[in-house]
């Protein structure tokens, strides 16, 4: 009986109830959608960095990362290959030899990182070959090929098949120069990456430097990002003479961004709780004060305070259980839609490119978050209903009945 009365009481003032239900639904929808955008932004930034060449794990000579000097290279690649092949979590890996140098064209020169790669194995690890917007990603019958980013090509004012001069310091600290032909131009989500990284065939770079096959860096990719920590620990144990670092060790700013995202999600949840709680308290308190005479009459004719408390509690819970699911289902549908088609933010694309995100954002939210928000909505509704219910219990029945 109490539940039926509570249900009918909700619709005695339909406009107010609909406004409260709508505000709860919109608040939950907006909160979840903003959370999905935050998650999507961060996931894309980390994913783009990892796939462009950061990798899940990097392996170096322990002295290499102190100076980034190419003379510090991994000597025993045979045992390294054997160790990597024995770990099932590892999907693929590739060898790099790295030099810091300058690329010059007739219009100017710019400092870049020169990455020597094996084009065949590189396709199994990084995604650069999928980012080619002009030309090709290395062809086997040509020598001295170079693949550069679109932004660097614009700065150098070069096009496909133009020659550029590459200058760098070899392992013996000698200055080496050579002419390379631009055979491919790529474009990633990060403009800073595009203007600072150039890819060359590892054999061409080693021939120019006068060195045998050397490996300054090993990029390791895993099937699942959750395996990074245990795989890193296993490699560190198996390769004590080498330095093994995970992606967040190599790029701590990305790791900090991941931590900040967790804090941001907690803030969004808190905002949802507070907005919902104040809305419920304000509306239900207004409803109690408007029905003060009615509640006093119910208490006078024998309805005990426990039932009055239960009635107000049920009214609040019903409103929340209508608005909450509407907001959650609406958010799920919206997030699922934009998770497939994306949100085009090309108007601010340059700013997003500088952050390594890209101009199209794909919303993403862990399914566990929907369950968390559902529990939060129910608990918030119950807690928010306590104060209006207590106000109803504290009223003097005789005085309440005499009020107009």
Q: For residue 140, what are the domain limits?
A: 62-241
Instruction: Looking at the structure, tell me whether residues 226 and 371 fall in a common domain.
Output: no
289: nearest Cα among 4, 5, 2, 13: 13
The confidence score (pLDDT) of residue 294 equals: 67
Domain assignment of residue 250, yes or no? no
- Angstrom CA distances, 374 to 29, 47, 221, 321, 329, stand at 12, 29, 36, 9, 11
Domain assignment of residue 247, yes or no? no
Instruction: Looking at the structure, tell me whether residues 43 and 71 fall in a common domain.
Output: no
Domain assignment of residue 246, yes or no? no
The confidence score (pLDDT) of residue 152 equals: 92
Give the mean pLDDT per block of 10 residues along the chain (404 residues).
74 79 84 84 82 88 87 87 91 90 90 90 87 87 89 92 90 87 89 88 86 86 90 92 90 75 75 78 73 67 71 80 88 91 70 60 85 81 77 62 58
* Residue ending a domain, choose from 209, 241, 273: 241
* Residue ending a domain, choose from 241, 272, 299: 241
pLDDT digits (tens, 9 = 90+) for 241-287: 999 999 888 888 777 776 777 777 777 778 777 877 777 777 777 77
Domain assignment of residue 56, yes or no? no
Instruction: Looking at the structure, tell me whether residues 101 and 177 fall in a common domain.
Output: yes
- Specify the number of domains making up the chain: 2
192: nearest Cα among 307, 308, 301, 110: 110
- Radius of gyration of the chain from Cα atoms? 31
First to last CA, the chain: 27
DSSP β-bridge partners for residue 110:
103
Instruction: Looking at the structure, tell me whether residues 158 and 215 fall in a common domain.
Output: yes
Under 8 Å between Cβ of 385 and 279: no
pLDDT digits (tens, 9 = 90+) for 348-391: 555 555 555 666 788 888 888 888 888 887 788 778 777 777 77
Instruction: Looking at the structure, tell me whether residues 93 and 225 fall in a common domain.
Output: yes
Instruction: Looking at the structure, tell me whether residues 160 and 95 fall in a common domain.
Output: yes
Instruction: Looking at the structure, tell me whether residues 119 and 18 fall in a common domain.
Output: no
* Residue ending a domain, choose from 211, 241, 271: 241
Instruction: Looking at the structure, tell me whether residues 275 and 324 fall in a common domain.
Output: yes
Q: Is the pTM of this model over 0.85?
A: no
Instruction: Looking at the structure, tell me whether residues 259 and 236 fall in a common domain.
Output: no
Domain assignment of residue 57, yes or no? no
């Amino acid at each position: 009986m109490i539940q039926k009365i509570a249900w009918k009481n909700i619709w005695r003032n339909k406009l107010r109830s609909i406004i409260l239900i709508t505000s709860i639904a919109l608040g939950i929808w907006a909160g979840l959608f903003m959370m999905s955008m935050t998650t999507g932004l961060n996931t894309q930034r980390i994913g783009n960095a990892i796939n462009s060449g950061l990798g899940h794990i990097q392996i170096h000579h322990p002295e290499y990362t102190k100076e980034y000097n190419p003379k510090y290279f991994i000597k025993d690649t045979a045992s390294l290959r054997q160790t990597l092949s024995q770990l099932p979590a590892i999907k693929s890996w590739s060898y790099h030899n790295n030099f810091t140098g300058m690329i010059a064209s007739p219009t100017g020169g710019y400092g870049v990182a020169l990455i020597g790669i094996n084009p065949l194995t590189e396709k199994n690890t990084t995604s650069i070959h999928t980012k080619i917007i002009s030309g090709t990603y290395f062809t086997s019958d040509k020598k001295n090929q170079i693949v550069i980013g679109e932004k660097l090509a614009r700065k150098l004012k070069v096009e496909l098949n133009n020659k550029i001069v590459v200058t760098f310091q070899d392992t013996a600290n000698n200055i080496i120069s050579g002419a390379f032909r631009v055979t491919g131009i790529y474009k990633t989500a990060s403009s800073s990456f595009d203007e600072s990284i150039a890819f060359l065939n590892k054999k061409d770079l080693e021939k120019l430097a006068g060195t045998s096959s050397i490996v300054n860096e090993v990029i390791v990719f895993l099937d699942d990002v959750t395996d990074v920590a245990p795989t890193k620990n296993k490699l560190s144990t198996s390769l004590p003479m080498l330095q093994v670092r995970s992606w967040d060790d190599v790029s701590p700013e990305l790791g900090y961004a991941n931590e900040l995202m967790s804090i941001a999600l907690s803030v969004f949840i808190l905002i949802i709780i507070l907005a919902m709680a104040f809305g419920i308290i304000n509306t239900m308190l207004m409803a109690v004060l408007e029905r003060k005479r009615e509640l006093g009459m119910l208490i006078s004719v024998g309805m005990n305070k426990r039932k009055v408390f239960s009635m107000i509690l049920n009214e609040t819970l019903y409103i929340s259980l209508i608005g909450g699911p509407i907001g959650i289902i609406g958010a799920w549908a919206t997030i699922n839609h934009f998770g497939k088609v994306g949100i085009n933010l090309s108007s601010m694309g340059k700013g997003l490119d500088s952050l390594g995100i890209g101009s199209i954002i794909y919303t993403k939210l862990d399914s566990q978050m929907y369950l968390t928000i559902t529990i939060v909505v129910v608990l918030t509704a119950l807690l928010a209903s306590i104060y209006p219910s207590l106000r109803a219990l504290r009223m003097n029945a005789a005085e309440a009945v005499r009020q107009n």
